[in-house]
Amino acid sequence: MRITVIGTGYLGATHAACMAELGHEVLGLDILPEKVAALSAGNVPMYEPGLEELLRGHLAGMEGSTGRLRFTTSWEEVGAFGEVHFVCTNTPQRRGEFACDMSYVESAFDLLAPHLDRPVLVVGKSTVPVGSADRLALRLAERAPAGEAAEVAWNPEFLREGYAVEDTLHPDRLVIGVRSDHAEEVLRELYAPLLEQGTPLVVTDFPTAELVKTAANSFLATKISFINAMAEVCEASGADVVQLSGALAYDARIGGRYLNAGLGFGGGCLPKDIRAFMARAGELGADQALTFLREVDSINMRRRSRMVELAREQCGGGFLGRRVAVLGAAFKPDSDDVRDSPALNVAGQIQLQGAQVTVYDPKAMDNARKLFPSLSYADSALEAAEGAHVVLHLTEWQEFRTMDPEALGRVVGERRILDGRNVLDPVVWRGAGWTYRALGRPS
Ligand code: UGA
C-alpha cells in the first residue's frame, strides 16, 4: 500500500521504517527541513538500536536498499501519494498545566485536509485525550475536498524507546478504533504480515482505542509507584524492597515486570500521560476516578528527593564544596532521551545545593548538555568519578551494571556509591570496601 507518515520523531520515524519493512511504499513528512534532510541521508536524529539500519535498508537512493521509503516537507506530495495517512505528531504537556498540547496533531490534520480530494484513511497514532478522534474526524470531513470520504481511524502505539523497532514489528497487540468495515479492512490489509504472525487485533470504537493507550501507561506508572511506595515502607522498617519485589513476582497475577524499585519513571510519555489523563477526566466530570494518579505522580517525585537526601547524608550533611559523580543522564538505558529524566533532575538539584556535579552517560551527553548546560560532563565513568565524595548510579546502562568496583575505587575520593536503580550487587561493592546504599534497602 502507499502510506504516508506525518511527523517523523520517535514514533513516526520508527513507524515509517517499519511499514517499509512490511512491504509498503512509504512517504514520511516532517515540518522541520533539517529532520527530513537527516532522514533522507540515512541518519536517525536519536539513539534507537536497529532503527538506522532499518531506515538505510529501505531508503530511496541508498545503495542496496529496497527504495520503498522517502521523506518530504511537501503536504501536496503527501496528499497526492497516500492511500493511508498516519499522524504521528507528539502531544507534550502544556506549559503550566496538566493537560496535553494538541496543537501539533490538530495542525497536522488541518494542513493535510486540503490535499485530500479522494477517499482515504487518516489514522491517528499520537497519544491523545479521549474524545479527540471524534472531534478530529468531524474537522477533517469539513475541511477535506473529499468530505466524509476522508475517513479517520485511531491506532494507538505502544512502543518503548530502546525497543522501538522490535515493539513495532512484533507488538503485543494491535488496537484499532474504527467507524466502518471499510476502515477495518484497510488496516487489516496494511498490518497483514503482523496478523499472520499471530498478533492479536482488538477492534474498538474511537474512545476505547484512545483509552487503551492512556490506561496502559497509567497502569505501568502505577505499578512502578506501587513498588516505590513499598520501598518507602522498607526504608522505614528495615526491610529490603529488592527481595520483596522478587517474592511478589513469583505470583503470576502480579508478575515481575515494571516492579523494579528505584528512582522511578521519567521520559516523554509516562509522566505527561498520567497528568493529561487526570486533566481529561476532570473535563469529563470523572476526576474522582483518577485521583490515585496524583499519588502515583507524588510517590514518583519523592524518590528523586529521597536520592538527594541520601547523597547529602553521604556527603556529611551538606553539599558545599563536595564532588558528586552522576552515572546516567538518559531517563532509562538504551536511550539518549533526557526528557523528564530522573537522573538529571537529581543531578540538577544537587548542583543547585552547592556540589560540583560531574555527569557521564554513554549516549545522552549532547542532549543532557543542552538541557543542563551548568552541570559538568566527563567522557567516561572513571573520569566523572575522579575525586568524588560519592558516586550516584542513576540510569542502569549495561556498562554501569558491569563496572569494576576496584577500578572505580582507585579514582574516587571516597568509596561511597548510591544505587538508584537497585541493579548493582551490594555484596560485591561492600566486599571491595565501598559504602553501598540504595533506595528501599537496608544500610
Ligand atoms: C512507555 C511505555 O512503556 C510504552 O508502552 C509506551 O508506548 C510509551 O511509554 C509511550 O507512551 O510512547 P517509554 O517511555 O519508552 O515507554 O519507557 P519505559 O520503558 O516504559 O520506562 C519508563 C520509565 O519507567 C523509565 O524512566 C524507567 O527507568 C522507569 N521504570 C520502568 C522503573 O522505574 N521501574 C520499572 O520497573 C520499569
CA of 11 to the centre of ligand 1 (A): 14
pLDDT reported for residue 443: 87
**Coil vs helix vs strand at 150:** strand
Closest CA to 126 of 36, 214, 189: 214
Closest CA to 397 of 325, 301, 303, 331: 331
Q: How far apart are CA 313 and CA 305, in angstroms?
A: 12
CA of 218 to the centre of ligand 1 (A): 11
How many Cβ atoms from other residues are within 10 Å of residue 5's Cβ?
Answer: 31
- Atom index in ligand 1 nearest the CA of residue 333 equals 28
- What domains are defined for the chain? 2-204 (3.40.50.720), 207-443 (3.40.50.720)
Closest CA to 436 of 187, 424, 56: 424
- Supply 264's cell numbers: 522511578
Q: How far apart are CA 231 and CA 240, in angstroms?
A: 8
Q: Which residue minimizes the CA distance to atom 24 of ligand 1?
A: 265
Q: Which residue minimizes the CA distance to atom 33 of ligand 1?
A: 264
pLDDT in tens, the chain (443 residues): 999 999 999 999 999 999 999 999 999 999 999 999 999 999 998 999 999 999 999 999 999 999 999 999 999 999 999 999 999 999 999 999 999 999 999 999 999 999 999 999 999 999 999 999 999 999 999 999 999 999 999 999 999 999 999 999 999 999 999 999 999 999 999 999 999 999 999 999 999 999 999 999 999 999 999 999 999 999 999 999 999 999 999 999 999 999 999 999 999 999 999 999 999 999 999 999 999 999 999 999 999 999 999 999 999 999 999 999 999 999 999 999 999 999 999 999 999 999 999 999 999 999 999 999 999 999 999 999 999 999 999 999 999 999 999 999 999 999 999 999 999 999 999 999 999 999 999 98
**Coil vs helix vs strand at 124:** strand
- Supply 271's cell numbers: 509522566
Measured from CB, residues less than 6 Å from any atom of ligand 1 are 127, 157-161, 217, 220, 224, 258-260, 262, 264-267, 269-270, 273, 331-332
Q: Which residue minimizes the CA distance to atom 1 of ligand 1?
A: 160
Q: How far apart are CA 212 and CA 201, in angstroms?
A: 13
The best mutation among 88, 265, 334, 335 to test binding of ligand 1, ranked by most ligand atoms within 8 Å of the C-beta, falls on 265
CA of 220 to the centre of ligand 1 (A): 8
Q: Which residue minimizes the CA distance to atom 20 of ligand 1?
A: 160
pLDDT reported for residue 75: 98
Please identify every residue annotated as catalytic: 269
Residue pair 123/151 in contact by the 8 Å Cβ criterion: no
